[in-house]
């Protein structure tokens, strides 16, 4: 097995070296920016979405694996080399690269062995979000990754979570969950306002929001695991649909009043916040 794996690693290194010599170095007569355009349009984009987006998350979800080839998720570097070949040397045969492109087109992860090979299907569902150029598995209404045999993984903005966090988050499940990250994801999905109202969290006090006309500040106690209180406020700015979103802000447990809580979030004193004319 070890020998076979060394052979596969050597083959890939040799392929990269050989294709560089044939297609990249051999294309020196072309302007360099043409090569950069191909590389950016094909390899970089695919590598960003597939290799950096899904592979690390799946490795974590299944507990880590060894000696794996990524099949479809090798498409970044495979497509980059294939694009250079098609653009700069379309008439040059390359059986080794043909094999790698066939793998990227036809299968998911695979494990070579002595006399046998385990090959996985490609995922039938593959959902990502893209926030601040960070590609992460994410889906708010079902599994972010699902395979044809039904095996699936749920993700909330890159964090692997149990199915209930996405399918049916409830205050009861959240309160007994021991994993802090899972609790955070479940509350974010459910929404702090809904969590506070449905969990029966004790209302400490309410007060008009001086910088947000007709809006109310509501201060709640949270369960002991939170180690904090929650200020429920109304956004000072309109959303695109003309509504004002409610949101929850964690504040220290020693905060006694909604005004003190709101002031703390801005780094102000209670007296300073009370004189605000407009909050955005």
Model pLDDT for residues 144-169, shown as the tens digit of each residue: 999 999 999 999 988 899 999 999 99
224-246 b/e with 16+ CB inside 10 Å = b? eebebbbbbbbeeeeeeeeeeeb
The sheet with strand 203-208 has its strands ordered as 203-208, 216-221, 229-234, 246-251
Q: How far apart are CA 159 and CA 182, in angstroms?
A: 8
Answer whether residue 251 shows pLDDT above 50.
yes
Note the pLDDT of residue 110.
82
Q: So where are the chain's domains?
A: 37-120, 126-182, 201-275
Q: How far is CA 229 from CA 29, 79, 185, 202, in A?
A: 66, 51, 18, 10
Distance of CA 163 to the CA centre of its chain: 16
Answer whether residue 123 shows pLDDT above 50.
yes
Answer whether residue 37 shows pLDDT above 80.
no
| Look-up of token digits 């498409």 | 75
Model pLDDT for residues 269-280, shown as the tens digit of each residue: 999 998 886 665
DSSP category for residue 41? I
Q: How far is CA 120 from CA 45, 94, 153, 273, in A?
A: 24, 26, 15, 59
User: Which of 57-71, 126-140, 144-158 has maximum average pLDDT?
Assistant: 144-158
Answer whether residue 135 shows pLDDT above 90.
no
- Percent of the chain exceeding pLDDT 90 equals 26
DSSP category for residue 274? H
Q: How far apart are CA 240 and CA 217, in angstroms?
A: 22
Residues in CB range of 232: below 8 A, 6 or more apart: 192, 193, 196, 217, 218, 219, 220, 246, 247, 248
- Percent of the chain exceeding pLDDT 70 equals 70
Note the pLDDT of residue 205.
94
Single out the residue of 195, 190, 138, 192 nearest to residue 164, CA to CA. 190
Q: What angle do CA 107, 111, 112 make, to 5 degrees?
A: 110
Note the pLDDT of residue 66.
58
Which two three-digit tokens encode residue 120?
């996985």
Q: What is the mean pLDDT of residues 198-226?
A: 88
| Look-up of token digits 């191909």 | 38
193 versus 22: which is more confidently predicted?
A: 193
Note the pLDDT of residue 236.
74
73-92 b/e with 16+ CB inside 10 Å = b? bbbbbbbbbbbbbebbbeee
Model pLDDT for residues 213-240, shown as the tens digit of each residue: 888 999 999 888 888 899 988 877 766 5
Q: How confident is the model at residue 61 (pLDDT cuts 50, 70, 90)?
A: low
What average pLDDT does the structure give for the chain?
A: 77
């Amino acid at each position: 097995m070890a020998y076979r794996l060394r052979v596969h690693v050597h083959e890939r290194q040799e392929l990269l070296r050989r294709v560089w010599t044939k297609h990249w170095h051999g294309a020196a007569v072309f302007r360099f920016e043409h090569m950069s355009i191909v590389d950016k349009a094909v390899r970089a984009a695919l590598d960003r979405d597939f290799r950096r987006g899904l592979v690390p998350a799946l490795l974590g979800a299944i507990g880590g694996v060894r000696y794996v080839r990524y099949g479809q998720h090798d498409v970044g570097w495979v497509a980059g080399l294939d694009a250079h070949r098609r653009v700069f040397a379309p008439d040059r045969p390359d059986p080794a690269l043909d094999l790698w492109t066939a793998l990227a087109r036809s299968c998911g992860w695979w494990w070579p062995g002595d006399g046998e090979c385990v090959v996985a299907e490609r995922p039938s569902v593959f959902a990502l979000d893209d926030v601040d150029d960070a590609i992460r598995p994410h889906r708010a209404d079902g599994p972010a990754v699902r395979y044809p045999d039904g095996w699936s993984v749920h993700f909330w903005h890159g964090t692997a979570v149990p199915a209930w966090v996405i399918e049916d988050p409830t205050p009861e499940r959240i309160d007994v969950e021991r994993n802090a990250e899972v609790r955070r994801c479940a509350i974010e999905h459910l929404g702090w306002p809904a969590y506070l109202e449905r969990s029966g969290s004790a209302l400490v006090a309410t007060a008009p929001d001086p910088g947000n006309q007709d809006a109310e500040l509501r201060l709640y106690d949270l369960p002991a695991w939170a180690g904090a209180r929650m200020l429920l406020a109304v956004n000072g700015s309109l959303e695109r649909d003309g509504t004002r979103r409610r949101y929850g802000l964690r504040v220290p447990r020693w905060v006694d009043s909604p005004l003190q809580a709101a002031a703390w979030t801005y780094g102000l004193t209670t007296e300073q916040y009370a004189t605000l004319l407009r909050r955005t």
